[in-house]
Chain A
Amino acid sequence: MKKLVSIEKAISHIEDGMTIMIGGFLAVGTPEKIIDALVEKGVNNLTIIANDTSFVDKGLGKLIANKQAKKVIASHIGTNKETGRQMTEGETEVILVPQGTLAEQVRSAGAGLGGFLTPTGLGTIVEEGKDKIVIDGQTYLLEKPLKADVALIHATVVDEKGNCYHAKATKNFNSLMATAADVVIVEAEKIVPVGELDPDMVNTPSLFVDYIVEGDK
């Protein structure tokens, strides 16, 4: 199966109203070129799941600034004033989730789990509307998995089979999100023939990846 496609072909899988996950942490290790193409294409009413909403002119912050999200699920929006403005004025629904809970929600979805129990958020507004479960005398919140229609991830090196290496601090949510969406598109800084990426260096095995697009170095 040939996974290497043009960005246009890859994002033809993204339609209005879809739920998309986007890898990266404050735009470090984020699929910048795919985001630019989505801004250009103008798909709307997206539900975006990401660690943060980056900056107004960087990473997925550009999708927010272009008003393409109807809902955002993230742990932090403080670096993008536009997200806060849209939330305050009721234009965009923002659900704030503790970062560790968000990572585990994505991991749970990818791992086929029905959710998990965490002490994080107990006694805060995060617990509102959630079931509490006591295990061996300790109270936990029941958190449910988070899935997406499409995950847009970034990798430093990808082989033509789809194996990904995410260098240094770009691992963040990239390898997790690759497990939790129906369609996974990876933007590669460098694409190499099969056999050139040492299996020991693979953070995201090829089986999770549907499409590979070429990004910038």
Chain B
Amino acid sequence: MSVVSIILILLVAFVVGMDGILDEWQMYQPIVACTLVGLAVGNPAAGIILGATLQMITIGWINIGASVAPDIALPSVVSALLVCGPAALSIKHGIALAIPLAVIGQLLSVSIRKSIVKLVHDADDAAEKAEIARMDRIHLLSLGIQGLRVLIPTVLVMLISPQYIHQLMQQVPAVITNGIAVSIGMVAAVGFANLINMMVSKSLWIWFVVGFLLAIFTDVNIFVLAGFGLIVAISFVWIVSRRHGDSNGTSGDDDDLDDFDKELDDL
């Protein structure tokens, strides 16, 4: 790899690591992060495909409240580096490696979120002395540490000889690689299940079924289906609100959700 490539990869790793905690710019989502790494290495085509495939798997991995989901930032960068870079792994291998990397990233993220508590106490001290600039620096330092969370493992992987990684992965029996490749379509279900668990209440299942049936029995483009869904959703809510009067709205959703939770717990 050229020096420029190396610098660009390190930059991408750092930025993606920071965005992983921010959850703002979404550069850490595989479809963007893998593309950026692919561009940095000079092999964007492989990065984009890997990114889109990983995206299907990670689509429902969401940090809500205080929970920390499996990490997305670290596996996106390292898998893309190994697939697009000189190690030239296949996309199947890249995906297989992404899962343990997601766990490593999650552990690192949790331990950093714990250790940042100390820095927050420094910020309390800065407030005690009315030092705004110092408080700002502590915030930015914390952000930088989260960037290093992806940067340092990336550097460690870059230090390993790519030929060695390539040969190592060739040792993996074809049954395992191909087995993982056929399970990619199934693994996508896990992310959706996570989203469904969060979003779908009893009264909403009907919409899931409608969407599913429309998509599986027709060849209509996903964008058209989305437009259709948006119009139907808005008109449905509008009609319901007209019928029940403005004050009622669609109250009772919470009860439905609770009932459904109970039902599923009983299973």
A and B pair up: no
